[in-house]
Amino acid sequence: MSFSGNVKKELCEQISPARHCQIAEISSIFALCGKLTIDKRSEHTLKLQTESSILAKKVFLLLKQVFSVSAELTTLSLAGKRKGKLYELFVPAEAVPDVLSACKLHSISAEGKEYAVLAAEAGITGKSCCKRSFLRGAFLVSGSVTDPKKAYHLEFTVNEEEAGVFLCETLRSLELDAKVIPRKSHFVVYIKEGEQIVDLLNIMGAHVALMEYENVRILKDMRNTINRKVNCEAANISKTAKAAARQLEDIQYIRDTIGFELLAEGLKEIALLRVEYPEASLKELGEMLHPPVGKSGVNHRLKRLCDIAEQHRPSQT
């Protein structure tokens, strides 16, 4: 099972103890994945379709616990490339008004005999605990999260812009930097920062997945830190080697042209040391001097030697 699948499996096992939180979760599930249908007798039936058996079971139990409703659950076999099974859950017509009213759902569009439904009032997420439950339900039917070993990305894909805006505002109210964008015929609400994805997993109650995600994130951060340090050290070594080679070239030019005898004693001493120890650092060269000299002092003397070499080189015109 994918990482995202494991998160959903864990969330399906979470049932909020408070009735208002259970209603908030039912609301988000039907808002993002439900349809309000009209049967031949012009009676309304609330329908949910999902390929997840554990989600269908959870919604069935929530409806039973909150509204004392025994929903009808049927199973269809999928053909073609998808294969597998499709689970359809129907809320009886007589219970639909109470469910819609309690969950603050209303129809927002009509296509033939099917009506999409959406959370109509922000009051359904008025409490912070209800926001947690609402987001948990939303993730179960429209969410996905990329395996942290590959990338940091969590998203909700919804059909209606209003649903995307509502989800985005709910996430932002919890100080999560969510954004919503159109993608083909859908709207995507996404979070791309690893630490915020961890926060959302915690908010929704996916604590096992959170620990796995955090462990991967910590290891990746450690590797990145180590790689940055190694690259930095490699760059410094390369820079030091190039500088030493340039200094050695200038010193050898002075030796072969004007000689060391005309140099001041301090410059002569550092020139001889650089020739003898071409790979030594400034600090190491300074410690060999009598008396010892700091890095800045060594660097100043070597720079003076480079200036002398430049002064005596024939000008290129």
pLDDT tens digits for range 87-107: 999 998 889 889 988 998 877
pLDDT band at residue 239 using 50, 70 and 90 as cut-offs: confident
> What token pair was written down for 294?
């700091």
- Please give the sequence-ordered ranges of beta strands (E in DSSP) within the chain, or none if there are none: 34-38, 44-50, 72-77, 85-91, 105-111, 114-119, 143-145, 154-158, 179-183, 186-191
Our CA dihedral for 240, 241, 242, 246, rounded to 10 degrees, sits at 100
What whole-number distance in Å separates Cα of residue 225 and Cα of residue 174? 30
Average pLDDT, the chain: 87
> 3-class DSSP state for residue 125?
helix
What pLDDT is attached to residue 136?
96
Please tell me which residue, 237 or 248, carries the higher pLDDT value. 248
Flag whether pLDDT at 28 surpasses 90: yes
Of 6, 21, 58, 5, the C-alpha closest to 211 is 6
What pLDDT is attached to residue 117?
58
Among the listed ranges 168-182, 206-220, 240-254, which one has the minimum average pLDDT value? 240-254
Average of pLDDT values for 64-68? 94
Contact at 8 Å (CB) between 298 and 309? no
Using alpha carbons, list the distances in angstroms from residue 235 to 79, 221, 238, 240: 58, 21, 5, 9
Contact at 8 Å (CB) between 163 and 118? yes
How many CB atoms are closer than 10 A to CB 183? Answer: 10
Longest Cα separation, the chain:
113
Using alpha carbons, list the distances in angstroms from residue 33 to 36, 37, 52, 56, 218: 10, 13, 12, 12, 35
Which DSSP state fits 146?
-
Contact at 8 Å (CB) between 171 and 135? yes
Average of pLDDT values for 167-175? 93
- Residue in the structure block whose two tokens are 């083909």: 184
